[in-house]
Amino acid sequence: MFTLANGQFHLAAMLFLLTSLPALVLSLRQSIKHRDIGLTLQLWGLHWVRLHLTGAAFLLSLWHCNTRRPARG
């Protein structure tokens, strides 16, 4: 969003392509037997979220940030 607001469409498209291709490859590999485009699209979105959450957790672990929930009560 930030790069699109500044008119950097090429950069935004390249970043989108770089972040969506690994998820697309994983979803195609997993759903190739079923030949269902709906399943492939669902898996693509799920893998995209999963990979980004994993990346965020990795970055937080580099700085030893605590990601646990606060104590209740």
Give tens-digit pLDDT for 8-30. 788 878 888 888 888 889 898 88
Q: 42-72 as b/e, with b when 16 or more CB fall inside 10 Å? A: ebbeebbeeeeeeeeeeeeeeeeeeeeeeee
The per-residue pLDDT for range 44-54, each reduced to its tens digit, is 999 999 999 98
Tokens of 9: 């469409």
* pLDDT value of position 30: 85
Element containing residue 22 per DSSP (H, E): helix 9-31
